[in-house]
């Protein structure tokens, strides 16, 4: 199976919800407003998700930090919300790093800006550098 198609049904539902939320709220809100709106839309659609999912970062076998994924949908797609005037390329790197430190292989960067933007990133577990210390995400 083509990795770009991995969890395609979930990502399509998330993307449709993202565009609906952006259309209703428009640009200019803070990220937490969009996160809350996405949660309401997911609840109404019966989509399972977890918010602020902790994912540990390891170095030489020791935990050196924890970050929080904005949402994990159906345990298979990580979401990172951003808002502002323009998309920052560092946010894509951030999403890839989040994927690298989890067992989740698909991530979506959802940018609530003047124009809505979706960036999809796939990172196969077989290609992760820290294979021996990957920790299961438990939403």
From the candidate CATH numbers 3.30.1490, 3.20.20, 3.40.960, 3.30.160, the one assigned to the domain spanning 3-123: 3.40.960
Angstrom distance (rounded) from CA 16 to CA 73? 14
Helix/strand/coil for 55: strand
Reading the block at residue 132, the tokens are 């021996």
- Taking CA atoms, 111 is separated from 80, 83, 93, 118, 128, in Å, by 8, 6, 14, 6, 25
Question: Could you read off the pLDDT of 38-93 as tens digits, one per residue?
Answer: 999 999 999 999 999 998 888 888 889 999 999 999 999 999 999 999 988 889 98
In the predicted model, is pLDDT for residue 131 greater than 80?
no
The pTM assigned to this predicted structure is 0.84
Residues 6+ positions from 16 with CB-CB distance below 8 Å = none
Tell me the pLDDT band of 10, cut-offs 50, 70 and 90. very high
Distance from C-alpha of 21 to C-alpha of 38, rounded to nearest angstrom = 7
* CB contact set of 118 (below 8 Å; sequence gap of 6+): 15, 18, 108, 109, 110, 111
Structure tokens at 31: 């990220």
51 neighbors 40 (Cβ within 8 angstroms): no
């Amino acid at each position: 199976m083509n990795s770009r198609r991995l969890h395609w049904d979930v990502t399509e539902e998330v993307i449709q919800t993202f565009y609906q939320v952006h259309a209703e709220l428009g640009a200019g809100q803070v990220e937490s407003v969009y996160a809350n709106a996405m949660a309401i839309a997911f609840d109404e659609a019966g989509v399972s998700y977890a918010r602020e999912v902790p994912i540990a970062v390891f170095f030489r076998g020791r935990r050196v930090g924890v970050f929080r994924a904005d949402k994990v949908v159906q345990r298979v797609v990580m979401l990172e919300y951003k808002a502002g005037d323009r998309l920052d390329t560092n946010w894509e790197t951030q999403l890839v790093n989040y994927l690298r430190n989890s067992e989740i292989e698909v991530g979506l960067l959802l940018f609530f800006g003047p124009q809505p933007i979706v960036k999809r990133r796939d990172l196969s577990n077989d290609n992760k550098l820290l294979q021996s210390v990957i920790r299961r995400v438990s939403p």
